[in-house]
Each structure stands twice: as C-alpha cells, then as structure tokens.
Amino acid sequence: MWSCPICRRVLLKKNLYSHLKAVHRTPAGEISRIREQISREAGTATVICPLCEESFSTHDDFAQHCGARHADDGAGGLPQNYSIISENFVNRQEYELWLTRKCEDTCTSLFKERIRTSGSSSRVTLLCNRSGMYKRTGTQRAGVTKKHVRYCSCHLNVTFNEGGTVAVAGCFGHVGHELDPALLKFSSQQKIYLKTLLEEHSMDYIIGRLRKQDSKKSTKLDFVVKQDLHNIIRSYRMAPGWGDGDDVTSLTPLRGEKL
C-alpha cells in the first residue's frame, strides 16, 4: 500500500498512478518521477510500458509483455516482433556487421545506456534512441528531440569477452512510438558512403540522388539534408566547401551529375 503524495490517501500501488492522473490531474512526467521514486524505495528497478503502464523489473520482462499484449500494434499501430534473441560472434567486427544489418532491418538506432567492466571483459547496455528523458542544456540550440517515450522494449545487452568473442541478448521490437527512419542516427557505413559521395559530387546532387534511390523512404539516407553533409565534412576534416557547388567553390570535380 502507498499513500498519495498530494492527498495522503492510502492506495494499492497499481491504483496510485491512475488516481494521480484522474483526481489530481498530475502531468505524465511527474507521475513517472513518482513511479521511479517508489521503485527506488522498494529496491526494484522499474521499466514501465508506455501503452498500458504496467511495470517490470527488466527490459526482457518488458519485451515479453509487449509480445503478449501489444504485438499487433505496439509501434504506432504497426506489428512488431518482441522475441528475445541471443547471438554469439567470434569477434567484434562480425558483431558490428550483424548489428548494422539488424538496425537497418528494424528501423533502429541505439545508444549506450550503461557500461560495466569486469577484468578484461565488459558489458554494454544499449537502448532505443527514441527512449529516455530529453534534457536540453542552457547552451544547446532548440531543436526537435528524438526522444518520444520514457521506455521502449528495444534493447541489447552486449558482452565483450576477454578472448575477443561477443555475446548478445535482447529485443529489436519497438513500443510506444512510430518507426521513423528520419530520426535514426547514421551508421558508420552510411557515414563512409556520404563521405565518398562528397568527394565527387555537390550537395544538391547527393541529396537529389538519395531521394530517388528509394521511393519507400525506408532508411536514414532518404532524409539527408545539407546540415548532415556539413557534419560529415567536419567529422572527416574534409576541406571547406568540398563537393558543395552552391555554398563554397568546390575543391573537387563534380563528375557526371545527372539525376
């Protein structure tokens, strides 16, 4: 039993959050904060389903719940596969190639949420980049946040073993948000591809070419804008104006630019 922090009424924990929402009109962010505080006091780490507000102690339990309850429409009305996968790789390169393909196939970008080390081994927890709490610093320019839900079922636990092998367990099914390739991060391979294009073509040509390559607009490359290309130029320390016939005189020939 838990008491409401506003009116002190004693309620079952499962009823407390609906009480806060219906009776006190508490904002969703504040309810999430209260929920996490209660979980800390109870000594349990809680993951909360954004669709039905059930709570779970692990992301694996959360994903299994999504498979049972939300498999048909969990990702903005789209069906998802919430199976827990387990894979082993002989080295990091094999793992990274597999991860790139899986992320492309499932419209996924991940970020490192936690790194734990033990001797020469390390374990990394990766979470969906559409999940988490958006925090803007005072010096950061305002923009569109990629964060959409506090928790998503998409996650990976990756263990890098002392001998170089890699073990992976997790889920690539998403819940609580639409699958939007425009909000993905560029993969390492995509960055290299854009660098190669910039070495030979203007920005306008590159953007037009990428728009025509995939009419379904299923990858991040279909949503490239000039700022992305400028970021690639800075990242690889390419010469100013490289491949950009509009903004600065290009330092490389623009080859066969016909769309």
Residue whose C-alpha is closest to residue 179's, from 79, 67, 111: 79
CA–CA dist 93, 190 (Å, integer): 16
Q: Angle of helix 226-235 relative to helix 188-198, nearest 10 degrees?
A: 90
Maximum mean pLDDT: which of 9-18, 95-104, 213-222: 95-104
Confidence (pLDDT) at 243: 52
| 156-200 residue pLDDT tens | 999 999 999 999 999 999 999 999 999 999 988 999 999 999 999
Q: Say how many residues make up the chain.
A: 259
* 78-to-27, 94, 130, 175, 197 alpha-carbon distances in Å: 27, 30, 16, 9, 34
Is the distance from CB of 80 to CB of 69 less than 8 angstroms?
no
| 42-97 residue pLDDT tens | 656 679 999 998 889 899 999 999 999 999 999 999 999 999 999 999 999 999 99
CA–CA dist 179, 80 (Å, integer): 10
Residue whose C-alpha is closest to residue 247's, from 217, 226, 223, 221: 226
CA–CA dist 202, 222 (Å, integer): 16
